[in-house]
A and B are shown apart, each in its own frame.
Chain A
Amino acid sequence: MNEICEVSGQSSGRTIDVVHASLIRRRRAEKRFRLYGLVSIVLGLCFVAILFASIIARGYTAFQQTSIGLDVYFDPELIDPEGRRDPVTLMEGDYDRLLKNTLSSMFPDVKARQEKGALYRLLSSAASYDLRDQVLANPELIGKIVRVWVPADDDIDMFVKGQLPRTGAEGERRIKDLQVAWIDKLEAEGRIEKSFNTAFFTSGDSREPELAGIWGAVMGSLFTLLVTLSLSLPIGMAAAIYLEEFAPRNRWTDFIEVNINNLAAVPSIVFGLLGLAVFINFFGLPRSSPLVGGLVLSLMTLPVIIIAGRSALKAVPPSVREAALGVGASSMQTVFHHVLPLAVPGMMTGAIIGMARALGESAPLLMIGMVAFIVDIPRGVLEPATVLPVQIYLWADSPERAFVERTSAAIIVLLVFLIFMNGLAVYIRKRFERRW
């Protein structure tokens, strides 16, 4: 550095000396500015990392469910007093009592009423249904003693997974010392097991965390997206084709364009108000149904699809159109035979991204009643349903500790879907990318 100073200093006027004098300061400012940029990016990436880490760390345990192994005596007295193996009688058997008897025989010291209640609460309230289903499927069980695995209560589940404290002031703990002792005993006997939580993927919503699943919400999302896709894709493509290929440049088309750009930026909740006022109150469509949800979401995704479609059409070079027009094709034939096929991958990418956004949308669906507590799995677009993001919202609002875990797990599932869809869009773009 010094050498340069000398060399140039000798040969030239004072400019260069002045420049060199301030150079160190300027280079430092340069470095500082560069550092700000780097820090911003690192911060942004940290947020991504923290978000994912905190959700995965909270959610992965929900993919396992604790069950308790009990040697249940299927007492014919309680479930089949007449011994006819009649399904109607079997349906109404007192399976609850079976479980209580089993637990009492395992822990004969427990006598007090309150303690007994606590003991029975080790098991999920759905455990008796499990027994019933097993008996109905296999009546041979009656009269035998069989080791049966039934789901544990959500608090016990949390405790076994180490998410509830063992020690500390007993009054502040969800799991009391007595229960800890029982669980320890069960664990020592190998009666506590964690297995893959199939119920989470196959059942609908429930008030009991250990029974709640996402299948109902997944089906609701599926129906909603089907309605959205079947409306917004054809309409969006048609609008994009008209605006890009046929529309004259005048005030009317300008107005349409302003509208589309503006709708793309209207808050989603306003679309919910529209859905509530127009589709539900005016047209009388059923509340909470995927049909209304899909209608609202297609109005929301239309601008996305139109904008993406137009840029895909814009990317097709005019030479293609001129070539087709040159051999005497009508402008309609030109567009549908030559331009559109070249633009379809771009349009599809836009459509998938629009669908991914619709899948993650929840605010407008709250407005049209898709927040109801729905246990049944929807089988059509007119049945009440909820969707995955709204299910997440509902669970996030629930006080039970175990729902935190399930909410995070539902988020993981939702994110997996979204990553898949966005990945598909990227793949299509890369695969069909063309440069003219």
Chain B
Amino acid sequence: MQKSTLLFLLVLLSAAAYHLGRRRSLQIAGGTVRNLHSLPSYYGYFAALWCGFPALLVLFLWIAFENSIVIQLVLSSLPKELTSASADRLGLLINDIRNIASGAVTGEPDPAIKAAAKHYLSLKETSNRLLSLLAISIAITGAAYARQRISQEFRARNQVEKSVTIFLIGCSTLAIFTTIGIVLSVLFESIRFFKEVPITEFLFGLNWSPQMAIRQDQVGSSGAFGAVPLFLGTLLISAIAMVVAVPIGLLSAIYLSEYAGPKFRAAAKPLLEILAGIPTVVYGFFAALVVAPFVRDLGVRFGLDVSSESALAAGLVMGIMIIPFVSSLSDDFINAVPQSLRDGAYALGATQSETIRQVIIPAALPGIVGGVLLAISRAIGETMIVVMAAGLTANLTVNPLAAVTTVTTQIVTLLVGDQEFDSPKTLAAFALGLVLFLVTLALNVIALHVVRKYREQYE
């Protein structure tokens, strides 16, 4: 039986169990709902849960482990000389077996492999049959157990609600598992990386050229993994972005919330927020195609030597992307400043701009600082713009007209394309990912803390 068919069947069985449970409860109650502890439908849900949930759990566990077990069984049946090969060869072998099993054959395969493929197929068949049998019997047993438990005093509603609560709790903890998953996935690979490249060299080295030579005797065969040029490049581009985004974002938020009439505000605000909804790949294209040539031509006109992948162009476009982020956060914080403070300043005879600059901004400052920190974290983590518009070579410079590369750009270039997964080159991407995650995490935690404290102040 196909797994999708099995899934469908289990759903049908659960629906049947629902009706069974409902009918049974009504039967026990003699047709009068008042005699029951819970509404009949809760008895139905109870039965359906017992029928469907354990069977589905078995199904998913089976799917998760089926493949590796089957492969192990197939390999153990193969002759020794085939399986004693290295891990890479073994992977190829398994691939071959799978390909033959699925019918995609090129050329005449080794008879041993052919036999293995046959074995593989038959094992899969058996596994499927076993699974169907197991799942359906579990489902039926579950339904029968639930039916047997139904009685007049049985608190079906409490039981059902408890399971729903468990489901809700499970869903809400997913965020924690995601964080753990992120930490573990970057940490493990990073540790493997730091075994090959010392952490001090990675963090403080000034030379980054991850291209490993194919042959050992080639020049520069070891590759260099000093990430300082990447950090500096990231900071440079982020700084340019902030120089663009913070004043424009803040001033437009001030204008919109303090000066603009309701009509202008209603028109300009959503237009400005369009910038927040544009995918980053579009910004990247815009940076590479429009802004970078423009910046270069402008530089040429002033007799400056501007790289066609200048940090300035990438930073400028990143700044544009962040404007709405800064402006909507600042807008929130400015609006959170109580009217009484404005009144206090106006009543002293302060002009509007004096009130804004000397009372409202200082009052909103913690929030704005938090917002700017979040914006910096976003700039550091931004990928597509720099991948498309910043350079690939690691230059140790703070000249905005030169080409620099960033952490995210390097992660992408190191991991895109076909690579063996164990080389220091790919592992370096995870080490960079770890640094990126830790830095943005620190920025976010500080920013969220500052913002939270700020909100509490005026609540």
| Cβ–Cβ < 8 Å partners of A265 in chain B | 374, 377-378, 440, 444, 447-448
Which residues of A are in contact with B by a Cβ distance under 8 Å? 19, 26-27, 29-30, 32-34, 36-41, 43-45, 47-48, 50-51, 54-55, 58, 234-236, 238-239, 241-243, 246-247, 255-256, 258-263, 265-271, 273-274, 276-278, 281, 283-284, 299, 302-303, 306, 330, 332, 356, 359-363, 366-367, 371, 389-390, 392-393, 396-397, 404, 407-408, 411, 414-415, 418, 422
Contacts A30-B353, A235-B174, A396-B284; A269 near B433 (Cβ below 8 A): yes
Q: How far is the CA of A360 from the CA of B272 in the complex (A)?
A: 18
How far apart are A357's CB and chain B's nearest CB, in angstroms?
A: 8
B178 touches A263 (CB 8 A): yes
Q: How far is the CA of A356 from the CA of B437 in the complex (A)?
A: 24
Q: In chain B between 18 and 60, which residues have their CB closer than 8 angstroms to a CB of chain A? A: none
Contacts A239-B171, A265-B374; A44 near B252 (Cβ below 8 A): yes
B448 touches A261 (CB 8 A): yes
Q: How far is the CA of A302 from the CA of B382 in the complex (A)?
A: 19
A361 touches B382 (CB 8 A): no
B282 touches A263 (CB 8 A): no
Q: Identify the closest chain B residue to A362 (Cβ).
A: B281
A303 touches B175 (CB 8 A): yes
- In order of increasing CB-CB distance, the 9 nearest A-B pairs are A267-B381, A37-B255, A360-B279, A277-B185, A242-B168, A33-B353, A363-B383, A238-B171, A40-B251
| Cβ–Cβ < 8 Å partners of B182 in chain A | 266, 270-271, 273-274
B279 touches A37 (CB 8 A): no
Q: How far is the CA of A241 from the CA of B444 in the complex (A)?
A: 25
Contacts A30-B352, A55-B282, A242-B169; A267 near B408 (Cβ below 8 A): yes
- In the complex, 6 of the A-B residue pairs with CB atoms within 8 angstroms, ordered by the A residue number, are A43-B248, A51-B320, A262-B445, A366-B412, A397-B388, A415-B282
Partner of A241, one of B168, B289, B354, B382: B168
Contacts A262-B445, A270-B433; A33 near B357 (Cβ below 8 A): yes
Give 17 new A-B contacts, CB below 8 A, not counting A26-B351, A48-B275, A389-B384: A33-B356, A38-B255, A39-B251, A51-B282, A54-B289, A256-B175, A259-B179, A269-B383, A269-B433, A270-B433, A271-B182, A273-B430, A306-B172, A360-B280, A361-B279, A367-B415, A396-B388
What count of chain B residues pass the 8 Å CB interface test? 92
Contacts A259-B179, A263-B178; A418 near B279 (Cβ below 8 A): yes
Partner-binding segment picked from B159-167, B194-202, B210-218, B394-402: B159-167
Chain B 370-407: CB-based contact to A (< 8 A → 1; otherwise 0): 00001001101111100110000000000000000000
How far apart are B253's CB and chain A's nearest CB, in angstroms?
A: 9
Q: How far is the CA of A310 from the CA of B249 in the complex (A)?
A: 27
Q: How far is the CA of A241 from the CA of B256 in the complex (A)?
A: 34
Most buried by B among A27, A55, A266, A392: A266
Whether a CB of chain A sits under 8 angstroms from the CB of B84 is no
| Cβ–Cβ < 8 Å partners of B280 in chain A | 360-363
B384 touches A362 (CB 8 A): yes
Q: Identify the closest chain B residue to A273 (Cβ).
A: B433
Most buried by B among A32, A270, A330: A270
| Cβ–Cβ < 8 Å partners of B256 in chain A | 41
Contacts A44-B275, A246-B165, A259-B179; A266 near B289 (Cβ below 8 A): no
| Cβ–Cβ < 8 Å partners of A422 in chain B | 277
B255 touches A34 (CB 8 A): yes
| Cβ–Cβ < 8 Å partners of B228 in chain A | none
Contacts A360-B280, A392-B285; A302 near B169 (Cβ below 8 A): no
Q: How far is the CA of A243 from the CA of B170 in the complex (A)?
A: 11
Q: How far is the CA of A27 from the CA of B350 in the complex (A)?
A: 11
Most buried by A among B251, B279, B356: B279
Q: How far is the CA of A277 from the CA of B181 in the complex (A)?
A: 9
Q: How far is the CA of A62 from the CA of B282 in the complex (A)?
A: 17
A281 touches B421 (CB 8 A): yes
Chain B 249-278: CB-based contact to A (< 8 A → 1; otherwise 0): 111101110111000000010011011011
A267 touches B279 (CB 8 A): no
| Cβ–Cβ < 8 Å partners of A27 in chain B | 351
Q: How far is the CA of A260 from the CA of B411 in the complex (A)?
A: 25
A19 touches B349 (CB 8 A): yes
Identify whether the interface residues of B are mostly helix, strand, loop, or mixed. helix
Whether a CB of chain A sits under 8 angstroms from the CB of B208 is no
Contacts A242-B171, A302-B174; A262 near B248 (Cβ below 8 A): no
Contacts A54-B286, A267-B382, A267-B383; A44 near B272 (Cβ below 8 A): yes
| Cβ–Cβ < 8 Å partners of B421 in chain A | 281
A262 touches B441 (CB 8 A): yes
Q: How far is the CA of A209 from the CA of B258 in the complex (A)?
A: 50
Q: Identify the closest chain A residue to B179 (Cβ).
A: A259
| Cβ–Cβ < 8 Å partners of A32 in chain B | 353
Q: How far is the CA of A19 from the CA of B349 in the complex (A)?
A: 9
Most buried by B among A260, A262, A265, A302: A265
Which residues of B are in contact with A by a Cβ distance under 8 Å? 64, 67-68, 157, 161, 164-165, 167-169, 171-176, 178-179, 181-182, 184-186, 188-189, 247-252, 254-256, 258-260, 268, 271-272, 274-275, 277-282, 284-286, 288-290, 320, 323-324, 327, 349, 351-354, 356-357, 374, 377-378, 380-384, 387-388, 408, 411-412, 415-416, 421, 429-430, 433, 436-437, 440-441, 444-445, 447-448
A259 touches B176 (CB 8 A): yes
A260 touches B175 (CB 8 A): yes
| Cβ–Cβ < 8 Å partners of B258 in chain A | 37
A330 touches B285 (CB 8 A): no
| Cβ–Cβ < 8 Å partners of A356 in chain B | 277
B381 touches A270 (CB 8 A): yes
A34 touches B353 (CB 8 A): yes
Most buried by B among A45, A271, A303: A45
Contacts A269-B381, A393-B281; A40 near B412 (Cβ below 8 A): no
| Cβ–Cβ < 8 Å partners of A36 in chain B | 251
How far apart are B397's CB and chain A's nearest CB, in angstroms?
A: 24
| Cβ–Cβ < 8 Å partners of A37 in chain B | 251-252, 254-255, 258-259
A47 touches B323 (CB 8 A): yes
Q: Identify the closest chain A residue to B426 (Cβ).
A: A276
Partner of A274, one of B67, B176, B178: B178
B288 touches A396 (CB 8 A): yes
| Cβ–Cβ < 8 Å partners of A236 in chain B | 171
How far apart are A241's CB and chain B's nearest CB, in angstroms?
A: 6
Partner of A256, one of B172, B272, B279, B444: B172
| Cβ–Cβ < 8 Å partners of A30 in chain B | 351-354
Most buried by B among A40, A50, A55, A256: A40
Q: Identify the closest chain B residue to A392 (Cβ).
A: B281
B382 touches A396 (CB 8 A): no
How far apart are B111's CB and chain A's nearest CB, in angstroms?
A: 28
B290 touches A238 (CB 8 A): no
| Cβ–Cβ < 8 Å partners of A235 in chain B | 171, 174
Contacts A396-B288, A396-B388; A274 near B185 (Cβ below 8 A): yes
Partner of B186, one of A45, A277, A392: A277
Q: How far is the CA of A422 from the CA of B176 in the complex (A)?
A: 29
B272 touches A268 (CB 8 A): no
| Cβ–Cβ < 8 Å partners of A269 in chain B | 381, 383, 408, 411-412, 433, 436
Contacts A41-B256, A256-B175; A26 near B354 (Cβ below 8 A): yes
A51 touches B278 (CB 8 A): yes
A44 touches B289 (CB 8 A): no
A54 touches B290 (CB 8 A): yes
| Cβ–Cβ < 8 Å partners of A44 in chain B | 248, 252, 272, 275, 323-324, 327
How far apart are A423's CB and chain B's nearest CB, in angstroms?
A: 11
A40 touches B381 (CB 8 A): no
